[in-house]
Amino acid sequence: MSSLLNKNLKLLKERFPGLSELWQDCTPAPLQIVSAKNGQPTVIENNIPLHSKYNPQKEAEEAVKAFDENKYSAAVFLGFGLGYAPVAFAKRFPQAAIILVESNPSRLLAALNETDWENIFSHKNLILAVGASKEQTQSLLDRYNAKEIFVFKNNAQIQHDRDFFSAVEETLAEGKQRDSVNEKTLEKFSRLWLKNSCINAKQIILCDTIQKFRNKFSGLPFLILAAGPTLSDTLLLLRQISQKTVTVCVDTALHSCLQYGIEPDFILLSDPQYYCSLHLEFLKSPSSVLVTEIAAWPSVFRFNCREKVLYASQFPIGQYFESRMSKSGSRGWGLGAGGSVSTTAWDFARYCGANVIFMAGLDLGFPKGQTHIRGSQFEQKAHEVSSRLNTAETEGTVALINGALIKKQDYCGNGIFTDKKMLLFAQWFKKNCTEAALGGLDTYSLSDKSLFIEGIKTELPKALLDLPDIRQKKNSILCENSQTINADKSEFMHILNEFLYELNELSDIAREGINFCNRALAAPEKTDRILYTLSDLDKKILASGAKQAAELVFPTKSRLEFLTKDINTGETSGQIQFSRILYEQLYTSAEECKKFLNKSILL
């Protein structure tokens, strides 16, 4: 063992003592090491050089200059050869995260045997994803904002395991797409979430939370009813199956479910948009429990059902109130949000203690060119607005065309069209169902015509008829956990008034900031003094208890870039203009919060 390898392994063990076992039975990969023109070691693999034949170090130093600290917070190295690029990066960027991805630990040992990694192992923000599985690596990368990750990839350095690195690249691409969709969604619907959450804030004291159902159905099978076309394969047997499973119906499938005379045990609605509230319009399900959150469209809380229960809000306004109410201060009642109500329904079943989860109508694609189950509210609305020249079939065709179709496979290997949005949902299910299966919770699709999702198996609907009858047991659980809320209006009003006070303070600070910015722009000679004043105002804003909620309608990064695209922040006047835009957006946020919250006072 070389002295350089000894030194590097010592540094590695000091930095990552838990990884020492990984190297016990490992030897350096048998790479063909040759000398570059400048004398530094380089590698030839399959007649392809992994580094420059002339000056590997200089090549790496030039490569890492592509990283922009102002734009990215982390660098992912897909393979690294002998480590020249990570070493150069560690020297140049001491703050940014370094994530080294390599499927074969012996290749890291080979690098440690040839180059000095002291700068890497002394870097304060280093992550080693070496010898990890695809799933573990993907889970690690999911912790980062994909838009803030810069990827360093040298095709020669990943040729030894193309499948592994392709899967990692796919994860990174999906992450960027997911973050982009989330940001656009936030930008489009933030005001709606704000409005709904404010108007519905009082529901926190009127409704129980899902905490009372946590693991209460432990050991029982759950059936999730989604609104995909293949739901029809299950509906004919739904009456018998519902006697043998705990049924959770997503809002889009409720109309079809009720048409067959079945009231599900739970109905789940997660989307705050108005059109989603229409899925419950003119319907009633007196024996069902409606599961939703306070950002839902207000009319949802007038739905005729057994009771409404809340899961923890995903948005700042709801989180503000929920965290301060004594009955719901714990955040142990949140549900996963993969962008689809079906993902939340699956996580609710897991939360309740399901021992197996069956998915009906989870197609995440368009089997036989259909978009939804026949008889769903989506299809009913299409018929209501149809005309001789614009039929319901035309509406479905337009939905397919507008979806930017992508061809994938179902469970039988046959082609099925889907789109980017549904592939994001599929990725969520793949990750979470695979992890759940490791803990003993299996998930099954009740149709082999649905989009194939790794981590979800298939089962025939009729197979569920062999399950034992659990009607008495689940009804007993529902009765034992019927509504017990003891509404404390005084506590809620205290929190509401405190919040309104903080919003008034925030609004006053923002208005003062706008005035100071205007004065600075009108009298440039006073700019320096005013900048100090603005700095003090910023500190006041950061100390405000309402800033978290105001962030909900604060512009997204892309929106802010659009609003300030013509401003030169390199000049003092440009900095003032930038600050004025921020204060204006903050003032608008605070005023809108106040306007909508006043409706909650009318209990």
- Please compute the mean of the pLDDT values over residues 531-553 and round it to a whole number: 75
Question: Exposure pattern of 313-343 as b/e (b: 16+ CB <10 Å)?
Answer: bbbbbbbbbbebeebbeeeebbbebbbbbbb
Cβ–Cβ < 8 Å for 327, 320? no
Model confidence over 11-53: pLDDT tens digits?
A: 988 888 877 666 666 777 778 889 999 999 999 888 889 999 9
| CATH number assigned to the domain covering 3-177 | 3.40.50
Whole-number Å distance between alpha carbons of 431 and 417: 21
Q: Cβ(298)–Cβ(206) under 8 Å?
A: no
Model confidence at 545, pLDDT cuts 50, 70, 90, reads: low
Q: What is the mean pLDDT of residues 139-163?
A: 86
Residue closest to 421 by CA, chosen among 177, 141, 169, 176: 177
What is the pLDDT confidence band of residue 264, given thresholds at 50, 70 and 90? very high
Q: Which range among 259-263, 470-474, 591-595 shows the weakest confidence by mean pLDDT?
A: 591-595
Strand partners, 376: none
Residue 404 has pLDDT above 80, yes or no: no
Cβ of 353: how many Cβ atoms within 10 Å?
18
**Percent of the chain residues past pLDDT 90, beyond the cut:** 48
> Collapsing DSSP states into helix, strand and coil, what is residue 34?
strand
Cα gap 445→357, rounded to integer Å: 9
pLDDT at residue 36, rounded to an integer: 92
Structure tokens at 458: 């298939």
Please provide the average confidence, as pLDDT, over all residues in the chain: 86
Distances (CA, A) of 195 to 55, 242, 269, 270, 552: 60, 37, 17, 15, 11
The span from the CA of 137 to the CA of 175, in Å, is 13
Whether 153 has a pLDDT exceeding 70, the answer reads yes
Measured N-to-C along each axis, helices 420-438 and 341-352 cross at an angle, to the nearest 10 degrees, of 10
Please name the helix (run of DSSP H) or strand (run of DSSP E) that holds residue 356, with its range, or none.
Answer: strand 356-360
Which amino acid does the sequence have at 481? Answer: N
Q: Which one is the CATH code of 200-375+408-480: 3.90.1480, 1.10.3290, 3.40.50, 1.20.1420?
A: 3.90.1480
- Domain parsing of the chain, residue ranges: 3-177, 200-375+408-480, 489-601
Structure tokens at 522: 């009108």
Question: Which two three-digit tokens encode residue 234?
Answer: 């299950």
Highest average pLDDT, of 97-101, 328-332, 500-504, comes from 97-101
Mean pLDDT within 48-73 = 92
pLDDT digits (tens, 9 = 90+) for 426-470: 989 998 999 999 999 999 999 999 999 999 999 999 999 999 999
User: Does position 586 have pLDDT exceeding 50, yes or no?
Assistant: yes
E-state strands within 174-229: 208-209, 221-225
Residue 393: pLDDT band (50, 70, 90) is very low
Distance CA 496, CA 193 (A): 18
Pick the closest to residue 478 from 270, 247, 238, 226 (CA basis).
Answer: 247
Residue-wise pLDDT tens digits, 283-336: 999 999 999 999 999 999 999 999 999 999 988 788 888 888 866 555 578 898
Cα–Cα distance, 232 to 445 (Å, whole number) = 13
